[in-house]
């Protein structure tokens, strides 16, 4: 099960609950589209990247080629700028029993900060995609489409005021700057929003299971019907895609 959310204000929880009442999360999840990854296709590339990254991080190490695979999937410009400060990346996410580290419940940022020190050429979007593929139960990515709709920076697309994180467009496309004061703390807030939604849906009196493609359950990537943080992120991405 997903760790409980922490540190969300009563006002934010009220907004999140109102969103839950007006949105159909299973349908938003099924509406997710990115290149080959559609519900009808079974989200094949997502499943492949999760399998690859989870396997690597259960041994605490990922490599440059893993980051490049994620960057290619996401369509990152300037992939050749990605590099490592050492030969491989140490990323501590799992216990020996292959469950998420308990310390992540109160400190979801420590793996992000560690990853950020070990990698050059990646900004917030791709750093968080790495965590999302490595530990989908507890992490979701934060990208410009989501920030523009539930955060700051794009008045024309903004629908919710959940995040202080800001997306910018200086004429070369939207991006999230690492230099802003709300990074990386804004990502911890995002993780706790994902946790809030996941736990609400997983514990709802009226069943609201996540309709995972069969491959995700059969391969052990998901527990049947149980919402992970990454599943919630995919649903919110679909919601955001309606406004940008």
List per-block mean pLDDT (blocks of 10 residues) for the chain, which spans 244 residues: 97 98 98 98 98 95 96 96 92 95 97 97 98 98 98 98 97 94 98 98 92 97 98 98 96
pLDDT at 238: 98
Instruction: Confirm if 158 and 115 have CB atoms less than 8 A apart.
Output: no
Tell me the sheet residues that pair with 38. Answer: 33
pLDDT at 2: 97
pLDDT at 172: 87
Instruction: Confirm if 188 and 109 have CB atoms less than 8 A apart.
Output: yes
CA angle 44, 50, 55 (to 5 degrees): 130
Question: Is the link from the previous residue into 207 a cis peptide, with omega within 30 of 0?
Answer: no
CA 131, CA 138: separation in Å to the nearest integer? Answer: 9
| φ and ψ of 227, to 5 deg | -75, 130
CB atoms within 10 A of CB 225: 15
pLDDT at 197: 98
Domain ranges of the chain: 10-241
The helix (H) or strand (E) run that includes residue 64 is helix 64-74
pLDDT at 214: 97
């Amino acid at each position: 099960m997903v760790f409980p959310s922490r540190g969300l204000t009563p006002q934010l929880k009220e907004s999140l609950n109102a969103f839950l009442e007006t949105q159909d999360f299973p349908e938003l999840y099924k509406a997710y589209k990115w290149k080959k990854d559609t519900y009808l296709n079974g989200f094949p590339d997502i499943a492949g990247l999760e399998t690859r990254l989870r396997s690597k991080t259960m041994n605490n190490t990922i490599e440059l080629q893993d980051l490049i695979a994620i960057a290619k999937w996401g369509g990152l410009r300037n992939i050749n700028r990605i590099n490592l400060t050492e030969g491989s990346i140490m990323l501590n996410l799992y216990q020996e029993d292959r469950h998420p580290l308990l310390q992540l419940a109160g400190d979801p940022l420590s793996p992000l900060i560690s990853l950020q020190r070990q990698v050059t050429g990646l900004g917030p979007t791709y750093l968080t995609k790495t965590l999302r593929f490595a530990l989908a139960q507890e992490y979701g990515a934060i990208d410009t489409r989501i920030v523009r709709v539930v955060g700051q920076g794009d008045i024309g697309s903004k629908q919710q005021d959940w995040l202080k994180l800001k997306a910018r467009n200086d004429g070369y496309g939207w991006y999230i700057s690492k230099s802003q004061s709300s990074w990386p703390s804004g990502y911890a807030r995002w993780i706790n929003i994902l946790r809030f939604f996941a736990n609400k849906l997983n514990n709802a009196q009226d069943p609201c299971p996540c309709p995972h493609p069969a491959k995700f359950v059969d391969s052990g990537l998901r527990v049947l019907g149980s919402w992970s943080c990454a599943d919630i992120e995919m649903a919110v991405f679909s919601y955001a895609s309606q406004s940008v």
